[in-house]
Amino acid sequence: MTMKPGTRLRAALLHPDIVVAPGVFDAMSALLATRAGFEALFLSGSAVSYAQLARPDLGLVTMDELATIATHICERVDTPLMVDIDQGFGSVANVQRAVHAFERAGCAGVQIEDQIAVKPAATLQARPVVSLSDMLGKLRAAQDARRDKDFLISARTDAQPFDEAFKRAVAFAEAGADMIFVECVRERADAERLAKAIGARVPLVSNFLEGRPHFARDAADLQAMGFHIALYPGVGIGSAVAAMESSFAKLAANGSNANLVRADAATINQLVETERFVRDATKYAG
């Protein structure tokens, strides 16, 4: 019997090697990441907003829009998918509805954060957060809503300064969060303090963002510090934007698709298994 995605991700977290999860934003990006051999994928809220709306990550993507994308991904690949659901789309009732939707879609789990619902641009230093009691209420609501106990509930805090974030992380661990992500960690000493306090009890998450210094050199260094998951949320969308911008500019300038870095039709047809669909059409023809 095939293990459920949450069960498989939990098993991966027990391995000594860190889980590296790239950010994806649609079924094709998830397929390409799966072919590269990743053990887990992260449906990034910012990447979805950039790709689907060409808008900033300001809570514009609805739950139904995100759930549809998650469903498409889980129908196409079996790599465990964690989903960034921001604050859970509203009240505790919204959080529970979201958990039902993403569990039904076939996801491994969701990440809930404590930022306020209408958040500032991600580049701003100040990120207002809800009270700890409100966040713990959402965490409990999410835990109670899941039907599969292996469906993971990851708790993220954007609180500052670090001492406040640390206090919240400890509270998340005591409340039974399955993973914990402290966003404001910038110093190696703070990361080591966090790992020493709760890393043995709860898997710790950190993300590597393009253009922002990180306390760890890379995923291997992060692993050595006692962390369990390294997220790279911007690699997929950043690579796609750069490639398309370059190709479109060359096409506009030259009026030719020669010498562009792109996949040809044969490669794409192989990726999407066109031949199998043609065979099935013949096999089941009336």
Query: Could you give the domains of the chain?
Result: 5-241 (3.20.20.60)
Average pLDDT of the segment spanning 47-55: 98
What number of CA atoms fall less than 13 Å from residue 192's CA on the CB side? 7
Q: What is the pLDDT of residues 131-167, one digit of tens each?
A: 999 999 999 999 999 999 999 999 999 999 999 999 9
For 20, list phi and psi in degrees, rounded to 5.
Answer: -100, 125
Report pLDDT for 114: 97
Q: Tell me how far apart the alpha carbons of residues 151 and 110 are, in angstroms, rounded to a whole number.
A: 8
pTM assigned to the model: 0.94
Closest CA to 145 of 99, 183, 106: 99
Closest CA to 99 of 249, 227, 89: 89
Q: What is the average pLDDT score of the chain?
A: 95
Encoded tokens for 150 = 């292996």
198 touches 169 (CB < 8 A): yes
Q: What is the pLDDT of residues 228-270, one digit of tens each?
A: 999 999 999 999 999 999 999 999 999 999 989 899 999 999 9
238 touches 29 (CB < 8 A): no
Report pLDDT for 264: 92
CA dihedral (80, 203, 62, 49) in degrees, to 10, reads -80
Using the predicted structure, report yes or no on whether residue 123 has a pLDDT greater than 80: no
98 touches 89 (CB < 8 A): yes
Encoded tokens for 257 = 């698709």
Enumerate residues 6+ apart whose C-beta is below 8 A from 107.
5, 43, 70, 74, 80, 81, 82, 83, 151
